[in-house]
Structure 1
Amino acid sequence: MSYNQRMGKIQEQRWKEKPSSSQPFPSMEGVTTSAAGDLTNRLSKLSVVESSGQSHLSVPPMQFGNIGLGNHKAVQGQKAIGKPNSYITISGAATVGVDKASVDQMAVNIQGNRAQKASPEKASTALSKLFGGNLLDNFTVDNSTYSLGHIRATFYPKFENEKSDQEIRTRMIEMVSKGLATLEVSLKHSGSLFMYAGQEGGAYAKNSYGNIYTAVGVFVLGRMFHEAWGTKASKKQAEFNDFLERTRMCISMELVTAVLGDHGQRPREDYVVVTAVTELGYGKPKFYSTPDVIAFCRKWRLPTNHVWLLSTRKSVTSFFAAYDALCEEGTATSVCKALDEVADISIPGSKDHIKAQGEILEGLVARIVSHESSKHMEQVLMDFPPPPLEGDLDLGPSLREICAANRSDEKQQIKALLQSVGTSFCPDYTDWFAKEGIDVHSRNADRSVLSKFLQTHPADFSTTKLQEMVRLMREKRYPAAFKCYYNFHKIDSVSSDNLHFRMVIHVHSDSAFRRYQKEMRYKPGLWPLYRGFFVDLNLFKANSERAKDIAKTNNNLVKDVNDSNGTSGKEGLADEDANLMIKLKFLTYKHSA
């Protein structure tokens, strides 16, 4: 098949969206008191039954869109960076580095069979032991103490280009002109970072979980399944949760809603766009290339972004010229039209920015990717055509209606959102509510958990690298916090010799990323510092026989893991060029933000 023929097929595969009203999505201000009452009654009849183990969270009032709930600025300040400053991409077919069977067996040997959900009675007993018996305080670190640290959710590392924008542009044009790379450009939707790793893996915002932000994310993602799959949605939701848990994967999205604060303009719809797909396994995270992200999303009918590929000197120079001409007054319509004309390949997103968010466009993200990306993308578009539309369905109350109906109580908002999404996608509320009287996030032990974690023997290679990362950040006094919480998903396996936590690595300043990146130049084996960084920790005691098994397993795997974490994710590009990217903002967004 000739290139023109292939391109013809690609053009035929563009998304065709149903005509929609040009009117913006109705705001919550339009929900009357009586309508809110009706919605409350409808929500109260939903089938999910709250267990007696759920608590009343103590949270401050917040602002949702234009509904007065208290501190508006606090919500506005929660805006997360929606696109990475650099990407490290690999083929989606890649494994986590070592033989999967070996890694899985290692996990089984160390952790035993995966714990089943505890009964309310068993969970209550475990909680009593955990808090009443001061298990953490009494957990001493000695020669028999080990730890497991596995990344549960993460977004791309934040790389800082120390060159000027003009230097970056020049290098990009040079690489494409020599046939060494392709320039990939994507739209920047204006929302907040949301990550999802399955029902037990968890739902995460940029630096937190178990709050209104993640409840909104779960609701919107669950609704996306209903829109895409229709009557099959519940089955597909359950399959998706199981898939993410079984493969230890995480998807990252731009969450665009009006209830979490406006970014430049009030979006017409509440939606997500997938920005990253990550294999976590039990080692270093592996990020899918954009063609593989599109293949993954089309398989599961998840929303994709608009992407352009430019593989010639003419197309790249035309792109930068088009941006320079549009940067002050460009809108989504004019920018997308201009890029369609200059790009070699254009892949429209399944969520049209103009229809879903509006004409005000925050910006574009341009990055260097492998020269083979164009061929890879062509193959993906032929192998994975756009999924069919299931038609209009009664989806029940919308996000804005639910938040408006429960505007006086954030705890009730969270509960109503989780109930509305249904048990197929959210069978329990463990990350949001714990035992009566216990706030999931109130019983943290940051200092003691972290110090004990660093004193333990690492039970696998992943834990070794995480300890190395944390030690470096503490020694260099980087502006970052390591917040640890009890992992209530593992509550039934807690004992005096076996404790489970979830750690949030919260980087307070971009300077930490820049300083950390310099350290990586001198220590090539150092793992990257990720944005949106959550780790499951397990501190446990091991008898002599189990300790020998751990040592034997680690010795067999360390070399393979080291080999697999080299340059395979950079598709043959040198470190400096693999991280080459640029953000291009529009003045129309800056003026409206």
Structure 2
Amino acid sequence: MKIWGTSAGKQRELSKMLDEWAVYIRRKYGNKPLSQSIYLSEAEPFLEQYAKRSVQNQALIGSAGNLVRAEDFLAIVGLDEEGDLEMEREVAPLSPSPSVKDTVPKKEGLIVFFPGIPGCAKSALCKELINAPGGLEDDRPVNSLMGDLIKGKYWQKVAEERKRKPYSIMLADKNAPNEEVWRQIENMCHSTRASAVPVVADSEGTDTNPFSIDALAVFMFRVLQRVNHPGNLDKGSPNAGYSRKEFEGELVERFGSLVKMPLLKSDRSPLPDPVKSILEEGINLYNLHTSRHGRMESTKGSYAKEWAKWEKQLREVLIRNAEYLNSVQVPFEFAVKQVVEQLKKIAKGDYATPDTEKRKFGTIVFAAVDLPVTEIQTLLDNLAENNPKVKAFLKDKDMVKNLRKGHVTLAHKRSHGVTAVASYGIFHHEKVPVDLTALLFSDKMAAFEARLGSVNGERVVSKNEWPHVTVWTGEGVVAKEANTLPQLISEGKATQIELNPPPTIYGTLEFY
């Protein structure tokens, strides 16, 4: 629990629950080793009854009746950490599925902020929100704090206003472009009892930027119209490196909600080549500048002359294409209406948090490459015929009973975290070649050493230090103990049979 960053109070609550679980299960079954199926069948009714006993217990187990799944409970308790060997039951692979409706609660305060860039229309939007008839249909006062009018540290000023007016909706009219700022907002939420809602311009984005080049063109055009300086691209790409999916997912994970402000018409014609070319030139210049100078302003770096020349050309190109850039934007009134409707739902607490990769995979315990048991059994039979040591080892073992499933565990929620498990989502249901390079066995367990192959040119890498397929464990030995086989080999307490050339078995990557 300390590794997970669980608070001291929550650790005490969990320890109390686990103590009661131990008493409960021992009272029914004594101290004898229990099968996985018994643990699973007993976990859910125990958790359900425990949750019903008090509001605190329900908050610990799950909100709004959405109880913890048995698989999650077993991951916490520490059972089936590897999940390599299943003798008592068949476990069906899980598919990521949304949980019961998860809502953003209505708290004492609300901070509306903008993880955008200059030209995303945040100030104009804030003005409309302040003057909107009926506001957000909420009894909390709506205040706006414009960054351009604040001297000193803006977010510190917002925090002071939040403390002064805790029961209010604060429109933070300043770009919140990166994780550094997001952390400040998170801390502010904790210290002033508020929720935060990010509002972002809707855009397809790219692999390395949450905003498409079309959106960047419109943002810069807006800035050019507003002031006598188009804004530097180095200030205009604070989230470079994020794909749009990662950008939105990170915001939802941090704040539980996301409001999208319509920007471009879906039926627009393609971006004119001159506009596309000048922006791509600016992006290349930005990459050169940041690789040498980091976050230094463009006017102070070694590329200052190039920046000045580029900005002059940018202004000329955007002005020549003003008609196009105006025509591709959705009407501002429509964009405001869409944002207001989304904010109303959040202010009322009537909002379902979108799924992200982390949320989708939160109920999954581990990821593994599932291998066909028949091929593993055939390989063992062939080894027994050709190797006396393997034959002697397998002689008194009922492998038909023991070898019910075979897989290479890639990541386990308890050992590696939800994010690590979710990272295999791109390979879900894909065929993965697995080379079995050696058979290791002792008097208590046996496993094949595994070497994972690639899917569509991308190598599948296990988070386990020693990827393997457990094929047998003695009575009372849990499957995860197979991880100790390499150490036992070095101590002379186990046998290793090299397989050269290693046979390849194709398996399917699944979640459990």
Normalising by structure 2, we get a TM-score of 0.23
Larger Rg computed on CA atoms: 2
Give the number of the structure with larger relative contact order, counting CA–CA contacts within 8 Å between residues 6 or more apart. Answer: 1
Normalising by structure 1, we get a TM-score of 0.21
Structure with the largest fraction of helix: 2
